[in-house]
Amino acid sequence: MNVSRGTHDTDMKKDGDNMDYWRIILLGDCVGKTALIERDWNPTIEEIYQKELMVDSCASFIEIIDTSGAEEYTSFREQWSRKAQGFIFVYSITSRNSFEQVPEYYRSMRRVIGDVDVPFILVGNKSDLKYDRQVSWNEGAALSDHLGCVFFEASAKSGENIDLIFFNLIRGLRGSALVIPEKARIHRENARVMRLQNEIDYIYSELRKTAYGQTVQAMFHKASNEQSQILEPLLAQADSEDLKPEEKEKLEEMIREEYILCLREFRGYFAEVKAMGIKVGPYIREFYGLPEPTKRKRFRFF
């Protein structure tokens, strides 16, 4: 990764140039974030670095602004944030204080850019200092889930995940799919399952409060058991290596049709739950393809 010190140009892209040009802000204080892009330099109030990177066979030119986290330089951070297309929030796994500052940096970013959809990444630096760790990997992953971003632990010393950080950010800037580390992907899936189960548990607890609600809950259980009895044998057959291609295709079509029938049945029960005044959470709505709740229009009176 070749990095050079540069100056800011408000119009970096040249006519006839097919290269992507992106401006990225590094946020974090005393966490070794500068070493993520250049190990041998000491940061001043702010440093600007430039770098070319090939991502998916397409060249990108990145301008990286390394800002100081000190309060007296807030205006500098805000100035650059208005001009940035992406952000990297960095903390040190050896400093809980730096980890606890990340939400404030995020709020600061939002105060400047508002609700604009920009890609950003959370990085736990100094992953090589495992014996000095104060922030667990799970805590970092949980914070990234809360903020809604991809999470990496990285090491400027060993080079672990350094290029992958910028690779993912550029893909996010282009609107491409991100490459999420396997450990983070599993954590995210487990977290989604847990939240989905929590929403289901809430609905069941509300249904148990009335006789009719208990009847609806029994309908849920009956439908779930029937779904398992039908789908589990089909899924087991689909995993067989002895199936011919046409048999496998036919079996997969049967699974899709049965799954659609199950979804329709559950959607009907969730509609009944909603009619009872019980909240249906966002993870259930996403999983079962339920419509978003209708927002009431606000009228202005003069």
| Residue 187 confidence (pLDDT) | 60
Distance, CA of 156 to CA of 296 (rounded, Å): 50
Phi, psi of 291 (to 5 degrees): -70, 150
- Of the chain, the percentage scoring pLDDT greater than 70 comes to 73
Percent over 90 (pLDDT), the chain: 2
Q: Give the model's pLDDT for residue 212.
A: 92
Kindly report which listed range (37-41, 89-93, 112-116, 233-237) carries the lowest average pLDDT score.
37-41
How does pLDDT run across 219-246, given as a tens digit for each residue?
A: 988 888 888 888 888 888 877 777 788 8
More confident residue, 269 or 289: 269
58 token code pair? 């397409």
Burial call 39-77: b when 16+ CB within 10 Å, e when fewer? eeeebeebbbbbbebebeeeebbbbbbbbbbeeeeeeeb
Residues 154/162, Cβ–Cβ less than 8 Å = yes
Residue 302's pLDDT is 33
* pLDDT band at 211; cut points 50, 70, 90: very high
What tens digit of pLDDT does each residue of 160-206 get?
A: 777 788 888 888 777 754 555 565 566 666 667 777 788 888 888 88
Residue 16 banded pLDDT, cuts 50, 70, 90: very low
For residue 302, give the 3-state DSSP assignment: coil
Question: Where do the H-state alpha helices sit in 32-161?
Answer: 74-81, 96-113, 137-147
Q: Report helix, strand and coil shares of the chain as percent, to nearest 5.
A: 50, 15, 35
